[in-house]
Homo-oligomer: A and B are copies of this chain.
Amino acid sequence: MTPYSPPLRDITFVLRELAGLDEIAGLPGFEDATSDVVQSVLDEAGRIASQVLAPLNQTGDQQGIRRENGTVKTPDGWRQAYRTLTEGNWIGLSCPQEFGGMGLPGVVDAAVSEMWQAANMAFSLCPMLTQGAINAIRTCGDEALQAKYLPRLVSGEWAGTMNLSEAAAGSDLGAIRTKAVRKDGHYLVSGQKIFITYGDHDLTENIIHLVLARTPDAPVGVKGISLFAVPKMLIGDDGKTIRRNDVQCLSLEHKLGIHASPTAVLSFGEKEGAIGFLIGDENRGLEYMFVMMNHARLNVGLQGLAIAERAYQQARAYAQERIQGRPIGCSAPSAIVDHPDVRRMLMGMKAEIEAMRALAYLAAAALDRAQAHPLPAERDAAKRYAELLNPIVKGWCTERGFEIASTGVQIHGGTGYIESTGAAQHLRDARITTIYEGTTGIQANDLINRKILKDGGLTLDRSLDDAGKTARELAQHDDPILQDIGNALNRAVGDAHRASRWLQDVAAEDPRQAAAAGVPLLLLLGTVLGGHEMARAARLAVIRAAETDTDQGFYRTKLKTAWHYAEAILPRSSGLLGTIIRGSRTVMVLDREEL
Contact = CB atoms under 8 A, between A and B. Distances in A.
Contact of A564 (B337, B428, B560, B587): B587
Interface in A194-218: 194-195
A219 interface: no
A417 interface: yes
Interface in A282-333: 316, 320, 323-329, 333
Secondary structure at the A interface, as helix, strand, loop or mixed, is helix
A463 interface: no
A38 to B, nearest CB: 26
A350 B343 CA distance: 33
A370 interface: no
B431 A254 contact: no
Nearest to A516: B340
A575 interface: yes
Given A413-B435, A592-B320, A586 B563 contact: yes
A342 to B, nearest CB: 7
A589 B560 contact: yes
A410 B439 contact: yes
Contacts of A590: 347, 557, 560-561
Contacts of A561: 590
A525 to B, nearest CB: 15
A223 interface: no
A583 to B, nearest CB: 3
Interface residues of A, number: 101
Nearest to A575: B575
A313 B196 CA distance: 29
A365 interface: no
B402 A406 contact: yes
Interface string A480-514: 00000000100000000000000000000001110
A571 B570 CA distance: 15
A70 to B, nearest CB: 22
A435 B420 contact: no
A557 B594 contact: yes
A95 interface: no
A586 B564 contact: yes
B564 A343 contact: no
Contacts of A142: none
Contacts of A578: 570-572, 574
Contact of A419 (B194, B255, B337): B255
A347 B344 CA distance: 31
Interface in A141-167: 165
Most buried by B among A335, A342, A575: A575
Contacts of A564: 583, 586-587, 589
A172 interface: yes
Interface stretch (A23-31, A229-237, A266-274, A440-448): A440-448
A475 to B, nearest CB: 15
Q: How many copies are assembled?
A: 2
B594 A553 contact: yes
A424 interface: yes
A378 interface: no
B571 A575 contact: yes
A585 B567 contact: yes
A179 B27 CA distance: 72
A446 to B, nearest CB: 12
Contact of A316 (B320, B512, B595): B595
A233 to B, nearest CB: 27
Nearest to A444: B341
A255 B414 CA distance: 10
A571 B582 contact: yes
Given A255-B419, A428-B256, A568-B583, A329 B512 contact: yes
A432 interface: yes
A168 interface: yes
Most buried by B among A410, A414, A588: A414
B571 A488 contact: no
A586 B560 contact: yes
A231 B431 CA distance: 42
A181 interface: no
A573 interface: yes
Contacts of A584: 344, 568
A505 to B, nearest CB: 17
A573 B589 CA distance: 23
Interface in A399-438: 402, 406, 409-410, 413-414, 416-420, 424, 427-428, 431-432, 434-436
Nearest to A581: B571
Given A344-B587, A346-B595, A590-B561, A328 B410 contact: no
Contacts of A511: 328-329
Contacts of A567: 582-583, 585-586
A387 interface: no
B594 A418 contact: no
A413 B439 contact: yes
A493 to B, nearest CB: 15
A344 B254 contact: no
19 contacts: A171-B325, A175-B325, A254-B418, A316-B595, A329-B512, A340-B516, A344-B516, A344-B519, A347-B586, A347-B587, A410-B440, A413-B439, A414-B435, A414-B436, A417-B432, A560-B589, A564-B586, A568-B583, A575-B575
Instruction: State the 6 A-B residue pairs at the shortest beta-carbon distance, nearest first.
Output: A571-B578, A575-B575, A568-B583, A341-B441, A172-B325, A340-B515
